[in-house]
Each structure stands twice: as C-alpha cells, then as structure tokens.
Amino acid sequence: DQIVVLTKAAKIEWEKTHSNVCLIHNPIPFDIEKTARSQIFNRVIAIGRLEDQKGFDLLVQSWKRVSNKHLGWQLDIYGEGSKKEQLFDLIHKNDLEKSIKLKGVSKQIKKELLSSDFYVMSSRYEGLPMVLLESIACGLPIVSFDCPTGPAEIIENNDCGLLALNGDIVDLTEKIMLMIENPELRFEKSRVALNKAKLYTLDRIMSQWEGLFRTLKSR
C-alpha cells in the first residue's frame, strides 16, 4: 500500500519504479538537551561497528595528521567488530596509542557523547545514521564524509557540522582541525544542532506515521 523510506536519496530511487513512496525519518531515541555546548573536553568521539563500512581505518590515517598539530586532543572510538585487531595494528603502526582509544561497547553512550566536543563520521556509506541524530540531540557538532547517503540530509550547507569530500582523508583532516581550532564555531553549530534535533522527536515522527495510517485507512 505504501513504501516508506528513510532518506531523500532512497525516495528518488524508489520513485523511478513506484508512485506510492513517502519519506519518514527515524526518531531520536532519547530526550534532546536544552542548552548548547559551552565546555571544552579536548575529545572527539566516533561510534560504530568496527567494519570496513565505517571507515575507521581512514579516520586513523586522518588522526595521524591531526595529532601532530594538536597533541592534547583525544579520539575515542566506540564499537566492536571484525576489524578490531587491524585497527589496533594501524594505531600502533602510526604511534597513536596515546591519542586514539578503542573503547569497546558502552551502555551509556549518551553520557559519552555529552563529554565530547564533536562527533566525527568516516563511513564509506550509510543509510540514515542514527548516531548523527543522537549527536545533534546532545548538541554535538559533526564532521563527516559526504558519503552516500544520510550525512548530507542532516548536515545541510554545513549548518550543524562540516561535510568533507567523500573518502578524502586530507579534507577530513582539515575539517577536523578547523573544528578543533575554533571553539566558537563548535558552540554555534551546537546551537543549530539542538534546533535541528527537534525535527526528529518521537512525537513528531509518530504523528507522520499516524497521518500515513489515517490516509491509507480512508482510501
């Protein structure tokens, strides 16, 4: 009766063969913070399965350049996966053991987000990344590859974060360092992030589903 998709890109693809396509995003699973970020932690966070899709190998290579200039900053990566040992080896090979930590799985990920300065996404591809929605709900600015699909639907015209050219480690490095070196930029993007998060509240998303069901029922 209806095809429901998560992203604008998916909607465009499905509309090539179907006329009954609509877009409803996933909701943010927890409450949105009320105030924008003002603290400095010298900490960047990344979250995801330790698999090729998430591009943490690219992030480690980028962080090598970042850490050479910003010695006091820490990158914490949360998640488990089959590439864990390879990432450990890559971190060791680049002498980054002091500034990159593989933290495993956390049951208090919102707490970890709230004690970070910004989020970085190095994925090769995505759907609609829930972790980016969770980040903006915490008022975290984002630095992300402009990978297909999802990041560019949340970060529009670099409003709540910075988009780097997809797969371009040099550009990702420049965007990370720009965010590190400009706390006022982070604070401003934090304010934008919290406002944008209101588009993804559970009440707002559920009202779209209820509207869809009412429409289908009336046909």
pLDDT in tens, 95-140: 999 999 999 999 999 999 999 999 999 999 999 999 999 999 999 9
Task: Give pLDDT, residue 86.
Answer: 98
**In the prediction, which pLDDT does 172 show?**
98
Backbone phi and psi for residue 153, each to the nearest 5 degrees, phi listed first: -80, -25
pLDDT of res. 142: 98
Distances (CA, A) of 162 to 104, 154, 155, 172: 26, 11, 7, 9
Which of helix, strand or coil describes residue 134? helix
Burial class (CB in 10 A: 0-12, 13-18, 19+), 121: buried
Question: What are the pLDDT digits (tens) for 17-35?
Answer: 999 999 999 999 999 999 9
**Whats the size of the chain, residue-wise?**
219
pLDDT in the model for residue 208? 98
